[in-house]
Structure 1
């Protein structure tokens, strides 16, 4: 019993670390576009996102119930293995999260978690340990439908935004009012993220508690202390900001203008909030990426960087099997080594995390250089954009610059 209690404590700690990585991995979902357009300064944006993630985590537990009582069957004769297998699955999820963060790929933390848990359960229990009906209806189908839906909504919303503001065509600051709207819509995305992604860690911890009898079977709602711990952990991770992924979503897919950002964020928030209410454990990252692509297609003259989009799509496809493979290997070590296997897994996981973090320091991406042109200009909604010079003004400015150069040369 003491060994089981220790393993559950390790599961809780590792689950909270996953929650932390989920926070900084997914900050980009809400704040990449308002930072890219200058609607919010980088550090203000992540602070706002952290606060709203915290609030959102308390608003719903539907997704937590899906994770704790649907995907993995806890009512098995092998339930004593479940905490160790959850531990192994979390290792798979965290490893993939850290790797994709290093590469700047906005992959799905949710699917990394599900892949790790499924891979570990297949090794430790077998096919009977997976509820494939729930996996299909609550994970796989939303993964296919949600990004396409969000992209279509963002495409139509962008078209509508530019159609209703056609009189501002040719005026570079004519649609800057959308920056104000972005503050609201990006805040709504951050709130929605808390209602969906924070729940997944709550569900994992609840599943671990049920498997050792610390919570009644059939009671899949997380306890209040689990909700509080997960809410604060994901908020902390969000505050630190995953600047590599923020840069990819804000500039890597398409050059986002304020009207586009407004449309993309509105689409993302609506899709996530609807899914959270239905208990769908979807990928908020995939939804945000689909929205950004849809908004890029919706603005005339905008170009979607399909090479970057292709890299992201490959990451989406690989997430479940890659995290599942790592989770399966970690589970095999546990099955063979027992308690010592858990210790070996913990040491290996710590080594991988430290190695990936140290590698990231070689070319660090921070709030100061993620969007250097925005950071250098200090652009925010209270700074109006200057209109471009007319040809006459440009010629006059060049003449003044030549005169100044001559004066400097004569004074030497």
Structure 2
């Protein structure tokens, strides 16, 4: 019986699918009968058309859309694992904790920053800051996001914005099963830049204040006690000229730094031949070297040595480094400038002096603005404290490095590696 009903259903479906053809065939047969054509012939033709139409394959197969199954219940822990797969790739430390502040999941950045938390351990096993723990407890009580600034001293000083927020999982209905995301955004570099900016303003103000105070004092002296003393006036005017020249150098260096910072992200794309460039720098510094009784020895390879760069900026770099070597390595009586261009190796320019050298604790800070190993010695040599900072910025724009090697009593090597 089932087979019969199945046949009937299939026949009904085919009749619906071919209804247009069957109706057209019937109309044609009716017209033929009206016109007086043989009834038997018309019937058999009509029957053949109907049979062929029903037996041929359908032009369009019927697409049966299966009924939508009910979604399977989602395991909250499985959902948590899937969500955390993306967080694992972040370089920001991230923890997922429960309402007991026990660690459920941690990413690789957590292990790098604080060391691995034992799974299931309380966060206080690694994070003992009272302020941070109070913030976590407050979020547990209010179920609202919260954040705090947190500092870590070991293994190195780092500053984080620590944020905690509840994770909204509809599958978790019980309040005691709630989960929370604890993230650590590292702002150490921002704090460092803020300190550098503050130090820069303070140092720049101090550097300008000293010559301005000298100028004011000498002007008052010329207007007062030395009003009629031509010899004193001449001496004071000479000192005032030195102070204004110093301020002019300082302002020029500050403007150079500002210009370099604005275009630090744009790498130069012109070819510069370092062989004639270093020769030009040496020639321009010969008068200074002669006054200091220092010889500048240049060691250059044959042929061209080209790098991508800005010629004027590279002249500024090598003038600064060679001038410093002459001034601060004066005791050695010689400065050697070597251009190295070995096959398969980076192009290097090495400036060496035989002076007193630089203590190791000062070397990492030489390129900081206004940093001086010896303040009085630097000022007596008319330094602004910005020269090596400018060198560093120019080389950063040129995608080059400044490498400093120094040994007390034996001299210093400054290497520019392209």
The TM-score normalised by the length of structure 2 is: 0.17
Question: In proportion to residue count, which structure has more strand?
Answer: 2
> Rg larger in 1 or in 2?
2
Question: In proportion to residue count, which structure has more helix?
Answer: 1
